[in-house]
Amino acid sequence: MELFGKHLICTQEWAKKDLDRILELSARIKKFRFSDHFGNLLKNRTFFMFFYNPSVRTRQSFECAATELGGHAQFLEPKSMRLKTKKSAGETVEDAAKVMSRYACGLGIRMLEDKVAYYGHGDEVIREYAKHSTIPVVSMAHDRFHPCQGLADIMGIREHLGENLKKKKILITWAHGALARSHCSVQEAMLICSRYGMDVTVAHPKGYELDEEVMEWTRENCKQNESEFNLIHDPKDGYEGAHVVYSRNWMSKDAYKDDEFLKSAEVEKAMGYTDWICDSEKMAMGEDPLYTHPMPIDRGHEVTDDVASGPRSIIYDVAENRLHVQKAVMAVTMGNL
């Protein structure tokens, strides 16, 4: 009951007991996916999905989640709405949020990379919507955080390694690639894995630093759980002793200039770091580690095919878990379960 109406913008902002509740409910929903018990929680209710950026898994999983809970998901995008921008007149965030709150039971927002003017802009926008909404606002991925992905990650890891992750090591490593991705998924992985007691090692070349506030939260989470946090700048050393490997490209600190996302320059620069790829040789340094990634994967750059499609890859389990954790989040924040 206490989670009804609560926003989900970053998992760090939720109490650990509430994350536990979501994961426990997600497991039940997964086991009894089409049970009548869960099929009417959003009956006759609509969830708005506001996409500044397109997606594959996010739209599919949220639409399925709403349908399987007995509700409906409605697709929205800025070009179909008269919203105020720097260059055009239109409806303010306050007005849009208050009106949408009169229609829907919840609002999801996705705002990444080329739809923001600088790092943190997407976080500011989603929090502005949350400020004026009387319905729960859920981040469907923005430039700082991706809470549903983080929940799906930890659910998948626990399914394979057990619920007690104390002293299990996750390596979160930068990888070269042609997509110039935001920080949101890797930062959520750092936060939630450290909340669940894992040793966290982050590896990246210099110039690809992550959000210092997120780094500090991760350090503090590890300290509270008596686990380890390490930051390294070597493409191989972090694999030693790893139980989980998460290799993903993310943009550099120089990705924005004059309110513009410099994607071509980011891709060209990243593709020069050819040593930063997850392959079977590096994986052999770990403790028979699982491989995970939020997808889409830039195969041949972020990771080799034999690892991504290998027997220790859990990428499809985690992708499936997006559906189950999102159903759980919607059930408790919008369905009053």
Residue 195, domain CATH: 3.40.50.1370
Residue 296 sits in the same domain as residue 329: no
**CA pair distance 110, 49, nearest whole angstrom:** 8
Give the pLDDT of residue 1.
56
Residue 81 lies in a domain: yes
The DSSP code sequence of 262-330 is: -HHHHHHHHTT-TT--B-HHHHTTSSS-EEE--S---BTTTB-HHHHTSTTB-HHHHHHHHHHHHHHHH
CA distance 89 to 249: 36
In contact, 4 and 31? CB cutoff 8 Å:
no
The SS3 call for residue 27 is helix
Placement of tokens 């996705």 in the chain = 110
Predicted pLDDT of residue 87: 66
pLDDT of residue 337: 75
Number of independent structural domains in the chain: 2
Range of the domain at 270: 147-318
> In terms of domains, do 187 and 257 share one?
yes
Please, are residues 149 and 188 in contact by the beta-carbon 8 Å criterion? yes
Tens digit of pLDDT at every position of the chain (337 positions) = 589 999 999 999 999 999 999 999 999 999 999 988 899 999 999 999 999 998 889 999 999 999 999 999 999 998 888 776 766 777 899 999 999 999 999 999 999 999 999 999 999 999 999 999 999 999 999 999 999 999 999 999 999 999 999 999 999 999 999 999 999 999 999 999 999 999 999 999 999 999 999 999 999 999 999 999 999 999 999 999 999 999 999 999 999 999 999 999 999 999 999 999 999 999 999 999 999 999 999 999 999 999 999 999 999 999 999 999 999 999 999 996 7
Same domain, 169 and 271: yes
Same domain as 33, residue 114: yes
Cis-peptide into 296, omega within 30 deg: yes
Q: Please report whether residue 141 resides in a domain.
A: yes
Return the half-sphere exposure (C-beta side, CA atoms, 13 A cut-off) of residue 122: 29
* Interatomic CA distance for residues 246 and 229, integer angstroms: 15
Q: Is residue 238 part of a domain?
A: yes
For tokens 């919607």, name the residue.
330
d(CA 253, CA 316): 30
**What per-residue confidence (pLDDT) applies to 84?**
64
Structure tokens at 173: 């490593």
* 291 and 186 housed in the same domain: yes
- Look at residue 82 and tell me if it is in a domain: yes
Determine contact, residues 139/10, Cβ cutoff 8 Å.
yes
Same domain, 194 and 263: yes
Looking at the fold, whether 122 and 161 belong to one and the same domain comes out as no
- Which pLDDT score, from 0 to 100, does residue 325 have? 98
CA distance 268 to 73: 38
Say whether both 155 and 302 belong to one domain: yes
My answer on whether 223 and 74 are in the same domain is: no
The pLDDT value recorded for residue 73 is: 98
139 - beta bridge partners? 109
> Are 193 and 297 part of one and the same domain?
yes
Question: What pLDDT does 8 receive?
Answer: 98
Let me know if residue 5 belongs to a domain: no
- Give a yes or no: residue 3 inside a domain: no
Euclidean distance between CA atoms 57 and 194, whole angstroms: 25
Task: Give me the amino acid identity at 8.
Answer: L
Assess whether 271 and 193 both reside in one domain.
yes
**59 and 69: one domain?**
yes
CA-only gyration radius of the chain, Å: 19
